[in-house]
Amino acid sequence: MPEAPKESVAENNKKKLEFIEDITSNPDHIQKQVLSEILSRNAHVEYLSRHGLNGHTDRETFKKTMPVVSYEDILPDINRIALGDTSPILCSHPISEFLTSSGTSAGERKMMPTIEEELVRRSLLYSLLMPVMSQFVQGLDKGKGMYFLFIKCETKTPGGLPARPVLTSYYKSSHFKDRPYDPYTNYTSPNEAILCPDSYQSMYSQMLCGLCQRTEVLRVGAVFASGFIRAIRFLENHWSILCHDIRTGTLNPLITDPPLREAVMRILKPDPETAGLVELECGKGSWQGIITRLWPNTKYVDVIVTGTMSQYIPTLDNYSNGLPLVCTMYASSECYFGVNLNPLCTPSDVSYTLIPTMAYFEFLPLHTSNDDNELLDLVNVKQGQDYELVVTTYAGLYRYRVGDVLRVAGFKNKAPQFNFICRKNVVLSIDSDKTDEVELQTAVQAAAGHLEPFGASLAEYTSYADTSGIPGHYVLYWELIHSGAIPIPPSVFEDCCLTMEESLSSVYRQNRAYEAIGPLEIRIVEGGTFDKLMDYAISLGASINQYKTPRCVKFAPIVDLLNSRLASSSFSPKCPKYAAV
Ligand code: AMP
């Protein structure tokens, strides 16, 4: 790694915290400047001209002239860029690549255009995280972080631009790869392990290096909770061969990537003592507190557990013996949004302060009684209200609906802080998949076709994200109308499972291929179960007139009720088809 920066850690922390003070004291002014800068440098792009903005850079004209849009509205423009049109369609700066979002459109990942300089903004947001953390936990510069970070496959658009997830883009950029030595980005995983495209070799090496440096580890994590849990599950399945490598100082031949082997061999030394200890702890059969047992100096677990990831909190609490679960940031392919300024708070209290220099933010009020659907500026949102986030970015998105619902939790100086409430419409999620009601319905419909030859049809269905096992999986509860004249062989339900999976989005299928999601399960319930479900909902106060079967259930008594009336259960017999996109 290049030379250490001259500035001391304390000085750098102070500067970053002052930056946060500054921007949160003056967010409206900054937002005005950001919008004006975006609009003036893009004054001549086709999209803004098409809508008649005519070079205006002020908020009022912008809001009057430009429509609020969704992905589908800009898809024709995105497609032109993807096909190789390099004229300034959305942005005056050249589009450097597409970031493939976990949000999907017609089952395929959305492709967000980006420009080179956005990497600088992303790096800036990352650079705020440890100075914030260091206010609450001392001495984090005296050891390492064990973070399980991965790249995913990438493709090229027909016009030759790379299309890959935002983190893959970031880890492959010089901002990450060639970062100067910094005690806060000193990880147990060598870059070669993070950048290895083979997920098994990458995970194996990262776990091995994490174990070898166990006493130096002060914090552990991954991006999302599901990823970290997957790493611990990997340890459960591989500790024995990992210990062999640690004991002998030799690397398993399954690790074939030459630069990766070289990087791991720089860390791996014969260490029978560590091997013995890891063997002892893993051999106990209980995984409770495994993090503190193997990495005894760990102060916290750094993973996102807000939004649907909250379903993993009990598992993480168990693995970590209740260490703090820290959610540091809120970001997306469209734009990096904000940071958590109170990182040791409990997961349910996490709020993110949007950084006003990142983009121009607007807020579409939700659940308001009046018809006033005007978008509000950052400083005009109201405490306790829910909003959908709308962004205008340096990379050429204008008044773009991100699809996230945020609630104002409070203010840091004049800048609002938001709880992440949910992704709009998403009913099921295990990892980065986000299945909405329509996708679920389409998949169920396709699968239920297999029942017709048996004189059977679907009376009702609902779904459940079962995260009690690792990896988690989708469970569908089906109640059938079936005379029974022609019995339905169990293989038919397996076909139904696979057909559903084939119909779900490419993000779902990719996660299945990476074993981040387990096989989909269909549980057939006895006749009358959904009536009982309705009775139960009504007993809790639901209106009988307005009752609709929920297409996804989470409430434990309802799940218990469904499970108590099980007739059979079937799993998808194989992985659905997935072509790398
Ligand atoms: P992607 O575009 O695939 O990077 O996904 C971005 C989306 O992930 C966001 O729009 C959110 O829905 C979700 N997300 C990102 N950060 C967080 C967070 N800290 N808490 C909850 N959800 C998040």
Q: pTM of the entire structure?
A: 0.91
pLDDT at 206: 98
In this model, does residue 48 exceed pLDDT 60?
A: yes
Taking only the tens place, the pLDDT of each residue in 6-34 is 579 999 999 999 999 999 999 999 999 99
Query: What is the distance in A from the centroid of ligand 1 to the CA of 152?
Result: 17
Q: Residue 402's closest CA among 383, 385, 426, 380?
A: 426
Taking only the tens place, the pLDDT of each residue in 258-300 is 999 999 999 999 999 999 999 999 999 899 999 999 999 999 9
Q: Residue 393's closest CA among 365, 415, 361, 354?
A: 361
pLDDT at 106: 86
**192 within ligand 1 shell (Cβ under 6 A):** no
Q: ∠ CA 434-560-451 to the nearest 5 degrees?
A: 65
Q: What is the mean pLDDT of residues 340-358?
A: 98
- Binning pLDDT at 50, 70 and 90, where does residue 367 land? confident
Residue to substitute in 302, 330, 342, 508 for testing ligand 1 pocket (most ligand atoms within 8 angstroms of CB): 330
User: How far apart are the C-alpha atoms of 308 and 270, rounded to whole Å?
Assistant: 42
For residue 548 the two structure tokens come to: 């609709």
In this model, does residue 581 exceed pLDDT 50?
A: no
Taking only the tens place, the pLDDT of each residue in 456-488 is 999 999 999 999 999 999 999 999 999 889 999
Tell me whether residue 137 is exposed, middle or buried, using C-beta atoms within 10 angstroms of its C-beta: 0 to 12, 13 to 18, 19 or more: middle
- Binning pLDDT at 50, 70 and 90, where does residue 98 land? very high
- Binning pLDDT at 50, 70 and 90, where does residue 205 land? very high
Q: What is the mean pLDDT of residues 314-337?
A: 97
**143 within ligand 1 shell (Cβ under 6 A):** no
In this model, does residue 248 exceed pLDDT 80?
A: yes
In this model, does residue 304 exceed pLDDT 70?
A: yes
**306 within ligand 1 shell (Cβ under 6 A):** yes
- For ligand 1, atom 13: residue with the closest CA: 332
